Structure 1
């Protein structure tokens, strides 16, 4: 298969929209692949604005602010894939995207190092009470003292959520001479000498520093609250560089004011401004030894560049080859190219008999299937068919008429 001609449709007719100042690395990838109608917008769009923009969009790129709702998806008649150029996908209505056969990709690993390094840096800053000394110095007050300042070496770091970022933090912390314990809802193989504990209570009561690295879902919303925090070791430090909905900020404020915690660093909040420069308030403002950052845990040049390459590559592989590896909606398939065939993609509701109907329809017209790949999830099935190139248009027409069809696409 010629790499110069991967698709049967004119690339200049494919519209790509990238929002929220996604890295230029992604834009360059699309343009180098021949997609000249690739447009980048600096900020997020509201639901109403996105509904107006998305009508003729084939590929949509977003970060964490843009919400792709059921109303947006209903207006996206040509949409093939959504790229979340970040770790999470909770800003997309995944159920609705699945039902409409829209592939959703993200970059779960690309900013791992950026967040992990910052967590270690913040731990040093807070355990040395640098925020207070920095504030005093800016006000002209010389606070040269060691009282309340400690080293990381020999302290215990408690990690809540031992996934990609949590385990990377674990490795860096051990390199700093820390003891590491972690809590996760699943049994996880530890990195280095880290030890898994059975309960959050165990972790909070033993940790000098507590760092959150959990996703936002029904089980984690408000999981850190007054009841959880009361078990914290007196004088512990608390960091949340995970998701804003996980922590009840009023309860965290109370724990800081009472001295149960000696410091905190928070990067994510239940409600965040949509644009840079917008007004922002939180109960944690003005508290001593507290570092507040504007959701920049993974915001380094390296991370954004890597995310741009990672997600754009997945989207291009899906658009041009039908490969859905890494998708959260369309079942994951990685398929080889077969010479002298035409490839058709078929997405359908996952009900019995669809594959049988596909095969019967094609065999009834003596259309030879040279390659067939199927993967399903609870909602939909995804079939990639390589057929005789001389009969591909007839095959394409037949597949569009198969019962329970959601989306059919002639790839090449």
Structure 2
């Protein structure tokens, strides 16, 4: 099979913008593929991003940059967005879908970093290391065992038994802990973990409760005052999931009452946009409470792996039309076809579009050598391989098909 061009558009004309100090591993992947990358260390406001994105083809962000509908309306050349993190809630996915912009993320690349930290926090909190550390810094010697325990034999309750929660489960069992978990769906346990049917029951039986749920309408304020009231006396609460899942005022009250003996919180309903900015939470200045600035997955290894993962998905889309892992454009992954040119067509998901595509090409005697279609509720995505001599004519015809959102001659 002959070597195919990876893209019809000159690589030096393709603009790739990476924000928020995305790992150099991603930069290396793009540059080794022949593309020029502009990397900025900080996040951009909506107004700043609107100004920057007009000629951008691929955008990379982390959790602080918000890609709103206004931003997407201004992004006339944008093909894809890479969220170099676990979540995609910082992107208006509905608007991105309507614009035919593929959105990728890295849902698995930092699971180990978060899981290890949760175990470490559990040890620090159950041993009351924070109090002893503060005392030592203040010149007081607190060598005592009162209120300090081992993890071995204790029960860890996990809420959300997904990629991170299940890995925490494995590490906890390795420490000699008993593991129970709650999930909205029935999940096959790893090791000896046992699934519980209610969060209240889980709280009542757990020495430590750790949150690992995604951000969704169903998880907002899921840990209410009522749920927390079932916590086992002297237990510990850890939230390294999403900031909006816990009622922080209720958590403060139950910590002050002594029913919970400690907590570790990494995510908050409102977080500063930049390092060094002012930050406030009801949990500040409480004893045996660890507050961290959304660093659960912030290790060198995790950022490197995320950089490799998301950049690979974006390059596969840019050069092959593959949308595996996209949250917006339907997932298609197809190999290149010999002696053809490939056209990508995104359209509104209404009846008759595929028929209109085939009619337009057949009436102009353009033979389709390969065709792949996938749809979601809003849009359809068609990958077409056509005769090389007629690809420019085919591209023009497809741009004129009613309900077309975006069309690109790939190679």
Q: What TM-score do you get using the length of structure 2 for normalisation?
A: 0.99
Distance 2:4 2:394 in 1: 24
Distance 2:71 2:141 in 1: 55
- Residue 22 of structure 2 aligns with which residue? 22
Distance 1:185 1:49 in 2: 39
Distance 1:194 1:201 in 2: 17
SS of structure 2 residue aligned to 1:262: strand
Distance 2:203 2:3 in 1: 55
User: Please, which moves more after superposition, 339-348 or 2-11?
Assistant: 2-11
SS of structure 2 residue aligned to 1:72: helix
Query: Does residue 178 of structure 2 align to residue 168 of structure 1?
Result: no
Distance 1:320 1:226 in 2: 51
How many pairs were matched up? Answer: 411
- Residue 378 of structure 1 aligns with which residue? 377
SS of structure 1 residue aligned to 2:365: coil
- C-alpha offsets along residues 2-54 of structure 1, whole Å, 9 cap, x if unaligned? 55721111011110110001001111111111112x11100100001101000
SS of structure 1 residue aligned to 2:221: coil
Instruction: Return structure 1 stretches of 4+ with deviation > 2 angstroms.
Output: 1-5
- Residue 388 of structure 2 aligns with which residue? 389
Q: Which runs of 5+ in 1 are unaligned?
A: none
Query: Does residue 333 of structure 2 align to residue 342 of structure 1?
Result: no
- Residue 207 of structure 2 aligns with which residue? 208
SS of structure 2 residue aligned to 1:358: helix
- Residue 332 of structure 2 aligns with which residue? 333
Distance 1:363 1:374 in 2: 18
Distance 1:77 1:3 in 2: 31
SS of structure 1 residue aligned to 2:76: coil
Query: Does residue 38 of structure 2 align to residue 39 of structure 1?
Result: yes
SS of structure 2 residue aligned to 1:55: coil
- Residue 299 of structure 2 aligns with which residue? 300
Measured after TM superposition, the shift of residue 280 of structure 1 is: 1.2
- Residue 411 of structure 1 aligns with which residue? 410
- Residue 83 of structure 1 aligns with which residue? 82
SS of structure 2 residue aligned to 1:396: helix
- C-alpha offsets along residues 207-243 of structure 1, whole Å, 9 cap, x if unaligned? 0000000011111111112111000001110000000
Measured after TM superposition, the shift of residue 194 of structure 1 is: 0.4
What is the 5 A alignment of 1:255-274?
Answer: 255-274=254-273
Q: What TM-score do you get using the length of structure 1 for normalisation?
A: 0.99
- Residue 251 of structure 1 aligns with which residue? 250
- Residue 67 of structure 1 aligns with which residue? 66
Measured after TM superposition, the shift of residue 342 of structure 1 is: 0.1
